[in-house]
Structure 1
Amino acid sequence: MSLLRRTRTGLLHLHFGTRDGRTVLLRDLQKAPLMIVRPFELPCGTLMVFMVNPTGGVLGGDHSEVRVTVDGAARVLILTQSATRVQPSPEGEAATQDIHLTVAAGARLEFYPERTLPFAGSVFRQHVRAELEEGAELGLTETLASGRVGMGERLRFGEYTSRVEVWREGRRVYLDALRLRPGEHTRTPGVWGAHDYAASGVWVGNGGVRDWPAVPGLLATGRSAGGAVWLRASAGQGPELDAALNAARESLRGQLFGAAPLRVRR
């Protein structure tokens, strides 16, 4: 097997619960290159965990498996320390990622990774599935760059595929299936138009939404037929997208979860 064909399988299994009214990490399984920085309790009582891949990125043929279980009454926030850099795949092999989230009644899980940055010639496929009991709360976002824009690699990746499903009590309440395979035309009307950064998100909570976040030409929100709240956004610049996404996220968290704004130090 050549060095170009060597593959890695990273595992990260996390199980959260409560002890004496505080959220704690009960069990964890970590296999390089996936690992976590030790949990930190935020002032609001939420337990924050940074998911880390200390290598230079994911390579063609690599596979990541993430399993997160949150027991009732626990409050968990999972972030990533940096962008996911998907390296070129000279032989066309896909880097794959499988994420499975299980949230019990009365628990809350929020997963807000940094953006995915696909290099020219890369292939990336992921599947995210969240299973919620009635009364569970979930927040999930996904952000994507069109490539290393500053390096002239706009829409030069081979493929980006992402399927996100949210199930509640055995019923699917949200489905987002995205498959991008850029061709020779990189500035044509379509999903992004002339924008270089895109985001999507889904929230399931026990509150209602009266003030729907929206920025004309940049960000929109709505409700799925199953009752989940969705978000779509795209922008020409990364900081512009991040600012709109963060503002919308905090608005929806406050309305759906009754949660105070996140105060995260990186």
Structure 2
Amino acid sequence: MKENQFGKVSTLSLEAGKREGKTVLSDVRFTAPYKIMQPFLLPDGGIQVMLLAASAGIMEGDRQAFSFHILPGAKVEFLSQSYDKIHPMDSGDAKRETKISVASGGSFCFHPQPTIPFAGSAFENRMEIELEDETAVFQMCEILTCGRYARGERFAYRSFRNYVEIRRGGRLIYRDNTWYEPELFSMEETGMMEGFTHQANLFVTKPEDGEAFCEEVRNLLEDERKNCQGGITRLAEGDYAVRLFGWRGQVLEELSDKILRLLRKNPV
């Protein structure tokens, strides 16, 4: 386990390349508590990489640092089977930093761990994604929660920040700065999360038929309006962002998966 001025740092570094028409992991390094399962081969020559965590919690003094490097032509889907449980800390905040680079012709679908802040905890997540050019494909689905709602800890954390920047060729194409501080303002009265318990943020690089993709997403949201609410936005350069609100993380996960599967019909 590495050390820095904040304490222990759990690290995960993954690099994927392409060999003989198939994606392979060219380098994987990590410290406890992570474990990478044997990659699943996908029909298109890509791979699905699954992360398990021996301990899902971020404890006092711990930090997490993730880095992913998708080399030219490689295609990777990354998902986690664990939840980060953010525990209260006497000093400082729990922090995670994630850096992702996708080279020309590479493709990366990223499903980071949902985070569950406990009462009295504070969490800051920062993600920096760099796409080399127009041929670099990136998809992401992340889910945020209001806390342990079943235990009466709705918005009981000290602060919760999620900061994401995505650049293509060095040019900023997407930024999301979600920053909740219940002690400074009422989350309910200001409409934060609009009365729901879970929020899902999706980003996809521009599909070939963006209008068809957008229409199908809107139809899905209409069908699911009893379980959740949301909307889709076309960004300046033809990429799309989707934001969903609901009362159960599983519902948002299932709907997000349906949305991402639409890209198979409208490939990038």
After TM superposition, the score normalised by the length of structure 2 is 0.87
CA positional deviation for 1:92: 3.7
After TM superposition, the score normalised by the length of structure 1 is 0.87
Unaligned stretches of 5+ residues in structure 1? 1-5, 258-266
Q: Which has the higher helix share?
A: 2
User: Which SS does the other structure have where 1:88 is aligned?
Assistant: coil
User: Could you tell me how far apart the structure 1 residues matched to 2:115 and 2:265 are?
Assistant: 26
**Residue number in structure 1 paired with 2:94:** 95
User: Could you tell me how far apart the structure 2 residues matched to 1:210 and 1:186 are?
Assistant: 34
Q: Give deviations 1:60-87, integer Å, cap 9, x for gaps.
A: 3311111111111111011011222111
RMSD, aligned α-carbons: 2.0
User: Could you tell me how far apart the structure 2 residues matched to 1:253 and 1:120 are?
Assistant: 40
User: Structure 2 matches for 1:242-253, cutoff 5 A?
Assistant: 242-252=253-263
Change in CA separation of 1:23 and 1:130 when aligned onto 2, cut-off 3 Å: same
Say if 2:205 is the partner of 1:194.
no
User: Structure 2 matches for 1:213-232, cutoff 5 A?
Assistant: 213-214=217-218, 215=221, 218-232=229-243
Unaligned stretches of 5+ residues in structure 2? 1-5
**Residue number in structure 1 paired with 2:173:** 173
Change in CA separation of 1:121 and 1:234 when aligned onto 2, cut-off 3 Å: same
User: Could you tell me how far apart the structure 2 residues matched to 1:7 and 1:41 are?
Assistant: 37
Letter of the 1:201 counterpart: L
CA positional deviation for 1:10: 0.9
User: Could you tell me how far apart the structure 1 residues matched to 2:26 and 2:113 are?
Assistant: 25
Letter of the 1:152 counterpart: G
Letter of the 1:82 counterpart: S
Change in CA separation of 1:32 and 1:123 when aligned onto 2, cut-off 3 Å: same
User: Could you tell me how far apart the structure 1 residues matched to 2:43 and 2:188 are?
Assistant: 45
Q: Which moved more, 1:192-201 or 1:213-222?
A: 213-222
**Residue number in structure 1 paired with 2:110:** 111
User: Could you tell me how far apart the structure 2 residues matched to 1:131 and 1:193 are?
Assistant: 31
Change in CA separation of 1:236 and 1:40 when aligned onto 2, cut-off 3 Å: same
> How many pairs were matched up?
252
User: Could you tell me how far apart the structure 2 residues matched to 1:65 and 1:116 are?
Assistant: 15
